[in-house]
Structure 1
């Protein structure tokens, strides 16, 4: 199963320097399905996540299995994720996932830091003598590398992704908390697992996209009904869209009306119509900065 990128407003919004709006803004609800980044792997319906080698293999295997298991569209799981092969795989395309996950750790001296402390106070509690104390510091360096491979039933490689990242944190003896290897590695493992999940399955997002509100260059007779349509977005987006569409036919090529009409097309699933209106929006005034949420 393949999915078309179902939130074209997101790309237009990014180009126009707009963002998802806060709840108080005038918005329209858009449900988007973003296609998997890799075509072939998303065709498999059953995935067997096998053992991963390396000192972080067990942790990564669990994180990846959980990430893939959470992938879903409209509340339905996208994959049947299993630990081992078993009967029943023949009912749908099956792939086997395995790989490696390693971490390397290095602790190095990292100079010193100084802290001034009061060592003597007068009877009123005022500091009358301070001392500068020097503390040694160290740097914790962590590097994580991993690889994920997917094979089909014919043992042919259908997906291969490598990953490498590193991080460092400096800490000194006067700190109450110090960074841990497990804490740093966990974040790296989660990031790699998410990257693989994003490659393999589509992602669904529900967003409130802010409508444009500028009435600059709008025909005077349209301004009052436009303002009314803006208010309707909070209570009846269907009525608001009907008015945006009507106004767009009365004054074509007005940037605000064109974008809002496109957004309304997307809300009801008319992606081709929405794309045409978004492209026209960008053509009307390329490079203009629009109000951010």
Structure 2
């Protein structure tokens, strides 16, 4: 009876796929959306954040960039921070810091491929003849190293505790030779570094929503032949019907419990619907059946999603 049901299931899924995915080859993945906590959760709990004056040659530019980045931070309920210009104006925390850049240029000898031998110019034509041999030769060039060091910290006003502290150095070296131009100016490099630090700081202290893709496990080892065929059909179904595919994994598990790929794929389905503790339990069972880096990554991701959900509940109560 089970074999008949399996064959009928496979035929039904195959018919649907023949219409929707004829001739295509798409990776068997699941798309999941979730909310992750800030890397520094304590700092993310400060709702009213004042940005104090930043010291250093590039301090004001960095302060403005961080302010713009934090203004775009969102939690599940809306804008994450209320940004204040006055550190004493009812702020829950005060962000301060410094930023100083520098650059230096010096001569270097680099290797470039150059023409070292030419044919005689054609009669009646001006200029050099056609190049007949190239070689890598030493060339006098210029090199510029641009650096930026930023220091940041957030002090919680109610108790004076430093809840966030970071030093963010950046460095870039570029070179150019005769006939070439530097890829960008030192000023443009510094501006890019400042924007990068601002974006990184937002990730440090603000939560984020993310939509990501995870590949299903595809190993059918250990399954009976009929269930292995059903596995292949469910795997194809993931391209057009994720809920139906999740029901398919559960159906196979009821027929033959404990196969590692089925457990892992059921964990992905649990993660997709927001059952993160259930997902972790299934990932651990899958890992016990067959170790893999994907299990470690999945467990860590689900644990982060649990923290993100806890923080979102906290933000809603603010």
Normalised TM-score (structure 2): 0.73
In the other structure, the counterpart of 1:95 is 93
Pick closer, same or farther for the CA change 1:119–1:216 going to 2, 3 Å: same
- Structure 1 pair 28/138, CA: closer, same or farther in 2 (3 Å)? same
Does the 8 Å CA contact 2:115/2:131 hold for their aligned counterparts? no
Deviations 1:63-109 (A, max 9, x none): 2112212221348221122334586x4xxx62221210001111111
Does residue 271 of structure 2 align to residue 263 of structure 1?
no
Contact 2:51 2:87 in 1 (8 A): no
Which structure has the greater CA radius of gyration? Answer: 2
Give the deviation of 1:112 after TM superposition.
5.1
Q: By how many angstroms is 1:131 displaced? A: 10
Shift in CA distance, 229/287, structure 1 to aligned 2, threshold 3 Å: closer
CA displacement 1:228-273 (0-9 Å, x = unmatched): 2222222221111111112123222211111111111111111111
**How much does 1:217 deviate?**
2.3
Question: Which residue, 127, 144, 156 being the options, matches 2:130?
Answer: 127
State whether residues 113 and 137 of structure 1, in contact with CA within 8 Å, keep that contact through their aligned partners in structure 2. no
- Correspondence for 2:282 among 277, 282, 291: 277
Distance 1:237 1:120, change over 3 A: same
Offset, 1:55: 1.2
Q: Give CA-to-partner distance per residue, 1:101-151, whole Å, 9 cap, x none.
A: 001111111125553276963159862788999753111112211111212
The counterpart of 2:144, out of the listed 113, 127, 140, is: 140
Alpha carbons of structure 1 residues 121 and 176: separation in structure 2 relative to 1, 3 Å:
farther
> Where in structure 1 do 4 or more consecutive aligned residues deviate above 4 Å?
117-120, 123-126, 128-135, 287-290
Output aligned runs, 1:132-211, within 5 Å. Answer: 135-154=139-158, 156=160, 157-211=162-216
Q: Are positions 1:214 and 2:219 aligned together?
A: yes
Contact 2:109 2:138 in 1 (8 A): no
Distance 1:131 1:209 in 2: 48
27-36 vs 171-180, greater mean Cα deviation: 171-180
> What's the CA shift for 1:276?
0.9
Task: In structure 1, list runs of 5 or more residues that go unmatched.
Answer: 1-22
Q: Is the 8 A contact 1:30 1:266 kept in 2?
A: yes
| 8 Å Cα contact 1:120-1:129 kept in structure 2 | no
Q: Aligned partners of 1:289, 1:98: CA distance in 2, in Å?
A: 39
Determine the C-alpha separation between the residues in 2 that align with 1:206 and 1:288.
21
| 2:291 equivalent in structure 1 | 286
2:69 pairs, out of 67, 70, 81, with: 67
Q: Determine if contact 2:32/2:271 at 8 Å carries over to the other structure.
A: yes
Matched residue, 1:53:
55
Structure 2: give runs of 5+ residues left out of the alignment: 1-24, 296-318
User: Between Structure 1 and Structure 2, which shows a larger proportion of helix residues?
Assistant: 2
Query: In 1, Cα distance between the equivalents of 2:57 and 2:120?
Result: 51
CA contact (8 A) 1:229 1:243 kept: yes
Against the structure 1 CA distance between its residues 153 and 287, is the aligned structure 2 distance closer, same or farther, given a 3 Å change threshold? Answer: closer
- Structural RMSD (CA): 3.0
TM-score by length of 1: 0.78
- How far did 1:167 drift? 2.2
What is the aligned length? 264
Report the CA distance between 1:155 and its aligned residue.
Answer: 7.1
